[in-house]
Structure 1
């Protein structure tokens, strides 16, 4: 088996006791066999991470940063090749996949710079001769669990802050996209990362990995991106060992387009975020509330953008048959309840799990598209009249990850942003997830942050040190 299909444990590539097949969602054809690691290899990866932890945390910050910069350079130099691997196993267009690799390198580079800014504090003493300090220390061995929809950038968003803080990592990539993760691991080994600092354990049975890391007291933190159902189970299991958790879970993002907004500009931005990665993003707009005064112009522009997308060129397939079935079920439910498809709305006659960009109007709150996360290229447009009540409608979800607002009114911008119960609010197309900003949600969308200084802080403990100077 080539090392491009193996696990990385303690700086060495391992074939594993068996393999599992990875498929191309665009064709259904197999693209490779990957090492299928069970609890034994996961345990060995934890052993390697625990053994590497003292040396890595003791390494001067500028030396850790330099190794991370080298890894970012390796990712940048290999972006086209890693992008091609991602396209083959995940389905997104090559340009989109390559851009993701470059974005992942950017996140890693920013975390490398943050390595040298892990400041402690000096606190006024409680008595004469007393000195109080807060000392930042790495939390320890970290287990990372990453999703298939952004199989490279989600790795560096976890790995970068963890390495910056001085932690070592055992990571399980999604079983649909392990080869992208293996390519990332190859870039880190080429950069000279010490053995055991980053370990990669692919498996076709995620529960086996989760069981091993949750049961091992040496794993002090778990960073998970995935479904709310799995996230809640990890939260429950973390209680046994009081493990630290960061969980980025599902979303049900609203868009609020007010009557003073530019509907054409709003439609262009919504189309970009909605149809990116075939709508398979936790931040993807799920409920698009548009004021009746601008609804016609917005919907016409959004439909035009959707119809301009070429399947297989501008937008890839859904990840698998189950994802396709869910999208079809949501659209069929909406149409049966009175919605209208202005474009799309039906699976094309072609191989693979493709579904066309779809714009729905006449959408009401009782439809599945308004109650469940579709995770596909479906844009449900809901007209509104009451500019105050629409915020309550937007908040009427157990999720709280992302919200989008379009308005030219500064007072409304601030008021609505404060009232929305979401961890991230972007107004008039502001960037959502640059490396320097904390990414994360509230409510059933999880807790913890990735990116920015808060993202690194999630991998730190702050030790209180009180010293009496004596006489």
Structure 2
């Protein structure tokens, strides 16, 4: 995810294909002057866009969504080259982004305030309006879908946006911006290339009203500190260390397939990937055997792409090495392959303990660290004892255990008997180090707007 915000000298960024190591392209990072100009231009564009009827703004988003679908293969191919995301999954992300633009195009005109019941001779209203200039700092692991959520909600409600995509996929960010800006007036949406320095300049700008960040916890905290000085509103979806609980009584092979999906999909580089597994001792042996089988299917039987770059692979391998040095047992994977690229094998660790980094920190790679527990109570307690609070999953046949899990786990989303999935338009608050504010769903429109109370009395009354 996006790196810690720092103030570094501007320069060129090279992007290499994580599967082959080949150069994809170079971009020039924005300077501090570029940032100042972009924010000033957005402020100018805001005056017109905020006054544009909501239906016209919606029509612009719908047109952009249609073009996004037409160019889905082009965007997916670039995403694959820059981040290693499998083509089918990358295309699904583009289509999901187009669907999100359509969703906010529909919801934007319907986003309304309410009337208040005051005196008979007066009118009292609560009226939402755009906040102003929104900075969107978006990640590399699902760059189109995530960006479309933030950009769509901001634009639908009359805000203008300066978008900085991750430096790991700048060409995807540029292409997405190109599609959207073709359907928008000038100065409503801009894209800036760059690393943490550019993010720092944007976050510290006195003329920015909202900073929406999806990425690492370290960067999120840096953004929050910058916003505390300027007064900008902050929306953060930071890192996660999502737990999976495997209760006694469940089919261990089914549970292993769920664990493998959660741990290895997109090479473990999903915001809500399974990061740590607590399995009841009664099913642990069969579960581990089946999980090792699942790991062995990747990538030959079940496709799995590389990690985003060598830096990420080094981070993942360091956590695996730390666990092994502290007594964990390597059951599958754990050895980076020879040759170019940033591939890492699907890895299964057993004998993990709470002191290991692989259980305490976000790994963000295809690693399934397993801790065997003696009871559901122990699993629930240890899963809850974490500094993050994004999502968690429980696999159980017990309705009482499911009830306890969703009530007691201090996370934004709890999934029962499915590691992925859920109805559309849901929105949750991440907890603790995982962030703050609604980052998706209809509630994101509330985050992107500010409410004004209006009292209209009789003249001379």
TM-score bucket of the superposed structures, by smaller chain: over 0.9
Cα deviations by residue, 1:85-109 (Å, 9 ceiling, x for unpaired)? 0111111221121111111112222
Aligned counterpart in structure 1 of residue 52 of structure 2, from 56, 59, 81: 59
Q: Match for residue 241 of structure 2? A: 252
Gaps of 5+ in 2: 1-9
Matched with 1:134 is 126
- Given the superposition, is the C-alpha separation of residues 167 and 441 from structure 1 closer, same or farther in structure 2, using an over 3 Å criterion? same
Give the 5 Å matches for 1:116-265. Answer: 116-125=109-118, 127=119, 129-190=121-182, 192-203=183-194, 205-211=195-201, 213-265=202-254
Question: Does residue 78 of structure 1 match 2:67?
Answer: no
* Residue aligned with 1:323, SS: helix
Alpha carbons 2:264, 2:366 under 8 Å: kept: yes
Following TM superposition, by how much is the alpha carbon of 1:141 offset from its aligned partner in structure 2, in angstroms? 0.7
Are the counterparts in 2 of residues 311 and 354 from structure 1 also a CA contact under 8 Å?
no
- The 1-side partners of 2:96 and 2:428 are apart by 14
In the TM superposition, what is the alpha-carbon distance from 1:440 to its structure 2 partner? 4.5
Deviation at 1:321, TM superposition (A): 2.1
Alignment of 1:271-286 (within 5 A): 271-286=260-275
**CA deviations over 1:152-180 (Å, ceiling 9, x no partner):** 11211210111111111001111111001
2:261 and 2:419 in contact (8 A); partners too = no
Partners of 2:298 and 2:346 within 8 A in 1: yes
Q: Do the aligned residues in 2 keep the contact of 1:20 with 1:33 (CA within 8 Å)? A: yes
Structure 1's 39 and 150: CA in aligned 2 closer, same or farther, altered over 3 A? same
Displacement of 1:433 in angstroms is 6.7
Over the aligned positions, Cα root-mean-square deviation in angstroms equals 2.0
Distance 1:312 1:234 in 2: 42
Change in Cα spacing, 1:311 to 1:335, as seen in structure 2 (3 Å) is: farther
Aligned-partner Cα distance in 1 for 2:428–2:303: 26
CA distance in 2, matches of 1:399, 1:446: 9
Per-residue CA deviations over 1:5-28 (Å, capped at 9, x if unaligned) read: xxxxxxxxxxxx964322112222
Aligned residues: 451
Contact 2:262 2:419 in 1 (8 A): no
Q: Offset of 1:138 from its aligned partner?
A: 0.8
* Distance across 2 between alignment mates of 1:247 and 1:41: 24
Structure 2 counterpart SS, 1:314: coil
Unaligned runs of 5+ in 1: 1-16
Deviation at 1:391, TM superposition (A): 1.5
1:329-408 to 2 correspondence within 5 Å?
329-408=318-397
Measured in 2, the distance between the counterparts of 1:458 and 1:305 equals 41
TM-score by length of 2: 0.93
Matching residue of 1:97: 90
Choose 435-444 or 216-225, whichever is displaced more: 435-444
Residues 137 and 199 in structure 2, CA contact (< 8 A), matched pair in contact too: no
Whether the 8 Å CA contact 1:38–1:209 is kept in 2: the answer is no
